[in-house]
Amino acid sequence: MKKLMLSILLGAFMGTAVAQDIPSSQVPVAIVKAFKLKFPRTSKVDWEMKGNLYEAEFNIDRRDYKALYDAAGKLQTYKREIPASELPTAVRNTITAQYKGFRIDDADRLEKNGKVYYQVELDGEPHDQKVVFNANGTVAADVAYW
């Protein structure tokens, strides 16, 4: 029982060490300005620290978005939720061919360094998978799932 409690406490501590909610008032002005320029149609934003980056979580037109900014206000990457029907045909074809028995649970369009990727959560057996694809349907080995 003591080991279980210690594991739970350690897991909770590690979760807060990786990401920490912060109030909007603690977000640097350069980030807030850059955010408002890029995403002017949102009003409610939840901010978190992810290592040394600031993560904004928000909605536009009922779609979930996340954006990562460095301390100088440079947008590092952002993603938005999309329906599976908006995945490129090449990505859907790869999923059908290489992930038989899996179904698309969640899909996001990700922009990083001027390139577009697609993050997909696949439900299946023996376990679910999270995969990032290039627009041409190949697995993007150089981009981690976020």
Q: Partners of 57 in the beta sheet?
A: 46, 66
User: What CATH number should be reported for the domain holding residue 55?
Assistant: 3.10.450.360
Q: Do 72 and 101 sit in the same domain of this protein? A: no
Q: Do 73 and 94 sit in the same domain of this protein? A: no
For the segment 75-128, what is each residue's pLDDT rounded down to a tens digit?
Answer: 999 999 999 999 999 999 999 999 999 999 999 999 999 999 999 999 998 889
Q: Do 75 and 110 sit in the same domain of this protein? A: no
For the segment 17-76, what is each residue's pLDDT rounded down to a tens digit?
Answer: 457 999 999 999 999 999 999 999 997 999 999 999 999 999 999 999 999 999 999 999
Q: Look up the pTM and report it.
A: 0.81
Number of domains in the chain: 2
User: What SS3 state is found at 136?
Assistant: coil
- Domain containing 119 equals 83-146
90 with 135: CB under 8 angstroms?
yes
Q: Do 73 and 91 sit in the same domain of this protein? A: no
The answer to whether residue 1 is domain-embedded is: no
